[in-house]
Amino acid sequence: MSTATDNGAAGRRRFWTDAQAVVLEDGFGVRLDGRPVRLPGGTELRVGSHALARALADEWRLAGGGKGGLFTPADLPLTRIAGTMLERIAPDRSETVKTLAGYAEGELLCYRARSPSLLVERQRAEWDPWLEWLRARHGIVLRVTEGVMPVSQPAEALAALGAVLQSVPDGALAALGVAVPALGSLVLGLALAEGALSGEQAAACATLDERTQMELWGHDAQQAARLAALGRDVEEAAQFLRLLQEGGMTGA
């Protein structure tokens, strides 16, 4: 008998006692009281990394706090990323690649403030190195602007970024699907996926403007809560990437 997850459900009742990672002929899976976890589309939850499978089992073991407890999709962040990998990206990568490539046209690191001077200097110090990383690592140069006026990126740069995304394995692409929208930066997302910076570093870089504004004008509880949620999203994506690599595979 299989079990099913529902990403749109809230407060579902936990019906299993224990969760275990299992070794399969073609990968690793998760069993709830011996039954396979199945995703909303009916696909069995199956990954190529034992480390990731163990982490998936751990979050199912903790979800709801015990048999009979309530759990939500928020309790299963790694499962949600794995589900995207298996049911959305593996059958057809094109839409995900297209969506992520679109972030380059409004790349966060390319939009610089004119004032205050503290923010201008911090953007230069913290953002320029990652645009230089993109040039050195992939040969891609993006244009930078000041203020709110949009800047058009070179067609060759956009095409090259699309090619980079096409080369990214399914699992990493699924993680980027979480990290890039949270960061507002395809450049930082790629650096995260390639291990050039950590989730914490990526989130700090992406929230430089907000953190500087709060430093200058005072703490904003609502803003701080939003930044904390952003940090969690990025760290979950980073954890997924680490676990894939620990398992010796970066694909499905």
Tens of each residue's pLDDT in the chain, 252 residues: 334 444 444 589 999 999 999 999 999 999 999 999 999 999 999 999 999 999 999 999 999 999 999 999 999 999 999 999 999 999 999 999 999 999 999 999 999 999 999 999 999 999 999 999 999 999 999 999 998 888 999 999 999 999 999 999 999 999 999 999 999 999 999 999 999 999 999 999 999 999 999 999 998 999 999 999 999 999 999 999 999 988 644 344
Residue whose token pair is 């870089």: 205
User: What pLDDT score was predicted for residue 4?
Assistant: 46
User: What pLDDT score was predicted for residue 7?
Assistant: 43
Provide φ and ψ at 116, rounded to 5°: -70, 165
Tell me how far apart the terminal alpha carbons of the chain are, to the nearest angstrom. Answer: 24
Tally of domains within the chain = 2
Same domain, 68 and 103: no
Same domain, 76 and 118: no
Interhelix angle 77-84/221-246, rounded to 10 degrees, is 60
Contact 20, 13 (CB under 8 A): no
For residue 247, the SS3 value is coil
User: What pLDDT score was predicted for residue 147?
Assistant: 85
- Asked if residue 36 belongs to a domain, the reply is yes
**What distance in Å separates the CA atoms of residue 165 and residue 98, rounded to the nearest whole number?**
9
In this structure, what DSSP letter does residue 143 have? Answer: -
User: What pLDDT score was predicted for residue 207?
Assistant: 98
Tokens describing residue 98: 């297209």
Which stretches within 168-198 are classed as H helix?
170-183, 186-193
**What distance in Å separates the CA atoms of residue 26 and residue 104, rounded to the nearest whole number?**
36
From 69, 89, 109, give the residue that closes a domain.
89
Predicted TM-score (pTM) of this structure: 0.92
List C-alpha distances in Å: 197 to 15, 87, 181: 39, 28, 17
Same domain, 57 and 181: no
The CATH code of the domain that includes 62 is 3.30.2180.10
From 89, 105, 124, give the residue that closes a domain.
89
User: What pLDDT score was predicted for residue 10?
Assistant: 58
If you count DSSP H runs as helices and E runs as strands, how many of each does the chain have, helices first?
10, 9
Same domain, 137 and 151: yes
Same domain, 215 and 167: yes
- Asked if residue 226 belongs to a domain, the reply is yes
Tokens describing residue 226: 């939003």
- Asked if residue 251 belongs to a domain, the reply is no
For residue 36, the SS3 value is strand
Same domain, 161 and 234: yes
In this structure, what DSSP letter does residue 210 have? Answer: H
User: What pLDDT score was predicted for residue 247?
Assistant: 67
